Chain A
Amino acid sequence: MAAQTPKNPEKHSTYLPKTKKSSKPLHDTPMLDQLESGPWPSFVTGLKRLAYEGKHANMMVDLLGQLEHSYKTRLGYWKGGTVSIFGYGGGIIPRFTELMDDDGKPMFPESKEFHTVRVQPPAGNHYSTDMLRQLSNSWNKHGSGLIAFHGQTGNIMFIGTTTDNTQHFFDEINSYGWDLGGAGPCVRTGMSCVGAARCEQSCANEQKIHRLLVNNFLDDMHRPALPYKFKFKVSGCPNDCMNSIQRSDLAVIGTWRDDMKVDQAEVQKFVADKGRKYVVDSVINMCPTRALSLNDDDTLEVDNRNCVRCMHCINVMTRALSTGDDKGVTLLLGGKRTLKIGDTMGTVIVPFMKLDTEEDYEKLVELAEEIIDFWAENALEHERVGETIDRIGLVNFLEGIDLEVDPNMISDARQSSYVRMDTWDEEANKWKDRQTG
């Protein structure tokens, strides 16, 4: 689909100023230029605008030069280094150009230092336009002006500045309430969904959990000294919009343990509107535990004891069905991507935890502390918590953090008989004692 001609070309994603204010001439960028056409907003046009008239426009002229060079040679040319702001050990991603001419001088000298500043977003990624403009002004003053909302860990990424200006920029934004995120082997920036702020499916106060957990570990964030990274992500319901099971070390996911709520009049309306075939095919038959049944009068029967809170029927029938009232969270530990043992998902370590009182929240923070302490003491270098669990086994990890085993932690019971079980009676009695409580 072709881009339409803008009604107001001065106020449009394709706008380029008529006059170029920067002193350095633009490099030829025939490959990047091809990414300026087409309907989706072009980051290349954005980079060019900054090269025309940003406060550090010459930096962006050379940045475009280096990027074009990468497009031509199909290679990257940034190397890391050590840049930090006073008092912190992490949070800056240093980048120095590796593209040198025959005399060993940078081919693109204006962008030879092009560091990123990682800044923690507000819980839930909420901004006022005033604050966005203020952050943008600060970055335009001390950096390239280019900001990514957001990086994959969740940071606001302020892309492109010199070593000196990282400090000036941080000083400025820190004075009005913004703090660096994590980089390196440390507690990383967390993420939380929109949740209770604008979603009826929320079963938790995501913002509170996010801020409480991360803010408790700021020392571990700003002074990297852990075996490797540790991420918290908070999703308000099992739809897990923050991808926490696969992308965080400790996933906190809202859920409920009483019956889900059914408004039978709304169910009947939904059936009347969509037809029985649609309801049977798209709702009833898609329940993973066959816990739903459509009654002859077009009301819904729910086998709540076998409902696994997957959210599918609630997602489809948003007016008729909703989460229960006895809300809390499930905790899963150890999600991460490939390096080094292959992908691991977080696995359940706490099936259900109430988060009503301040004491409840304190227990959550204490558990997170136990986990990070035990992992920090026992992990190998560069080992994520999921890999530690893989190496030592979940049971040893649970003993280390003082949690009892629970059948909700497994998909299948043990299949291998190769295990020593001479303390069976003792373990069985523990279970019995817990049941009689």
Chain B
Amino acid sequence: MAHVAQSGAGTAPAILDEVKPAVLPRAVLVSNNRSFSWITEKICGIIEGRTPAWWWVAFCVALFVASFTVAGITYLVATGVGVWGHANPVNWAWDIVNFVFWIGIGHAGTLISAILCLLRQKWRTSINRAAEAMTIFAVVCAGIFPVFHVGRVWFAWYLFPIPTANGVWQNFRSPLEWDVFAVSTYGTVSVLFWYVGLIPDLAVLRDRFTVAGNRVKAFLYGLFAMGWRGSNRHWSNYEMAYLILAGVSTPLVLSVHTIVSFDFAVSLIPGWHTTIFPPYFVAGAIFSGFGMVLTLMLPLRSIYKLEDLITQYHIDCMCKITLATGTMVGYAYAMEFFIAWYGSNPYEGFTFINRAFGPYAWAYWIMITCNVITPQFFWFKKVRQNTTLVWVLSIFVNVGMWFERFVIIVTSLARDFLPSSWGYYSPSIVEIFTFFGTFGVFSVLFLLFIRFLPVMPMAELKAVTPQADPHANHEEFTGHGDPVVERGHA
């Protein structure tokens, strides 16, 4: 900044005259020079147009798949938690694996909405609405598993510290209880964040339906727009509320999966009792979350022709975050092995050898392939530009992260301290149905979202278009970030 200060005083340092800084134009976030009205028409058009045939097909399929969860859970409640395949020694299995899997997926939404907002990463605007929706729906799917895992689900309210005639409280020293607060806070804040962001867009839809004369829809969107008029005061309050929510959610990105990892790390089971778990779980959660964002956004982009709003630059950014977090996860795997050897604890050592070469080695190597090798393809620009390949790789990420949780939870329990109580866990058909069905639950919710709510925040998108930038026309000469040209703003 010293240079800028000097040059502002009128004497530019000689070096800058000789060495012209490279012109590094910023990537354009809305391509093809699209106008504000084009954006409004595009996003609102998805909702206002006729329901496409593919939507009905997808919706019916999703409902059918979701019925598997309903059937599985109904059978569980009617019969007892024994219909799931876990038994001594593996008392946490698919239910907890699925819980951690779904809760992890949600993390990309919170990261995009909170941390990227605070870091002013403008590319978030194209994907944040859908990613936040994904977060909420993933939390819904995640919540099913621990709630029904308690067995007698009608007592699940015991998880909450409500004063009762029993005169006892929850064990506040247990990470399982922290989990209740972490996940419920996470769900609440995610819904608030999502809803606050939706208000201006709901008002747009209210006004458009009013003009179109559809009073029922105008009323419904108007109800949730809560009287938004788009006045300066509204926007000022909105921006402040959004910033505060971003600040509140930022610790949640780290805390939720940290506490989920405490469910394991605070116990004494070899393979669980490690201090690396919190950062390792958070990195894994963001990794899996971005995998899911790619899985969802790429088809959405292609079906609704949103290439101008989700540009190659957006895909690059998401791929790079996936690559970074995937590499962190790979580092954590390596570090777990190193510490198991370096720590000289025979049980710890055995656990990791057993993971890689024991009865669950197949799951371990699926995990390594999907989580460590898959993201490395994103180093290559050619791969990142091939949307189909990116989508396929994102599926591998999703699969790999499910297997990571399976490997951590099941292998450690199946081979703990006492060889006499070793076992091998296989899921029952009820568990498989219940998990399979949650993809239907998730899809039903997501399909309803893209049909009835604006998939992107229109106002925020308009703010990042080239037209919204007063310097846009100078771009061809210098580009942003040129200290000489920008000194006036320094």
Do they bind each other?
no
